[in-house]
Amino acid sequence: MQFPFADFSELKEKKILIVGVGGLGAVSAEILTRCGVGRIVIMDYDTLEEGNLNRLIYNTSQVGKKKVDALEVHLKKANPDVRVVGHPFDITDGKGYDLFVEEVGKSDVVLGCVDTFHVRLFMNSQCVKAGKPLIDGGASTDGVNGSVHVVIPGKTPCFRCNRPALGETAREEAQKPERAREATGVCHFTSLPTTMGIVSSLQCQETLKLLLSFGHIASYLMYHGLEGVLERYDWERDPDCPVCGDIVHEK
Ligand SMILES: [Zn+2]
């Protein structure tokens, strides 16, 4: 592949972990698979429901299957040279937790594509602890806005840094039941495939910049869909951050 800013062939030596393979994660996995990343691990305990089909990648014949199993088949067809590994587990508990910690350790970058706040906080603290970059993507509950947060431990603000409003309530927030989900695992909130495609593409763009060392990584990008505006924020790390505050700053 001819690309003037980096050598894409280096991607075959790279390993990526993607947590959550719904609207964001499935698209990110497809993009990075087609780019030729060497090993892609996907983790998600959800089963595919009809209500998920307004997103991209999945199809009607896969309803009832584990998302990671359906996606693994799809990705292997898209690029058989990529090693795809699927783990159908909850990363915050039991076997899934052990596997998550192990896979974070092996990965060059972790992509957060989850829809719950407490899992984001959990992933943030685990990635900071392991010194692994986390690229978190999210879409707003109204479906038209999104954001991408690039956490490079010791270098860019972590997910907890610029949320002073969380303050003392962070722990309570993290323990709240998952309000955005029904018992079936299908999200209540609107999910526009367009917004999902934009946010996951931005996540992948920052991932490629990080893995191949080109361009200027945006530590925080916010997409405003109604206005058609993409904003970049370059915040400073919080020296008192409870998660990353004690890591020596690297330039
Ligand atoms: Zn922090």
User: What sign for the dihedral angle of Cα 67, 31, 133, 202?
Assistant: negative
Residue 168 contacts residue 224 (beta carbons within 8 Å): no
Rounded to the nearest angstrom, the distance between the alpha carbon of 63 and the centre of ligand 1 is 39
Rounded to the nearest angstrom, the distance between the alpha carbon of 21 and the centre of ligand 1 is 26
pTM value is 0.90
Out of 3.40.50.2300, 3.40.50.720, 3.30.2010.30, 3.40.50.300, which CATH number does the structure's domain 8-233 have? 3.40.50.720
Domain residue spans of the chain: 8-233
Q: Write out pLDDT tens, residues 3-33.
A: 889 999 999 999 999 999 999 999 999 999 9
Q: What DSSP element (H or E) covers 18?
A: strand 15-19
Rounded to the nearest angstrom, the distance between the alpha carbon of 82 and the centre of ligand 1 is 33
d(CA 95, CA 100): 8
Please list the active-site residues: 187
Rounded to the nearest angstrom, the distance between the alpha carbon of 159 and the centre of ligand 1 is 6
At 41, phi and psi to the nearest 5?
Answer: -105, 130
Q: Write out pLDDT tens, residues 190-237.
A: 678 999 999 999 999 999 999 999 999 999 999 999 999 999 999 889
Q: Write out pLDDT tens, residues 228-250.
A: 999 999 988 999 899 999 877 65
Residue 110 contacts residue 104 (beta carbons within 8 Å): yes
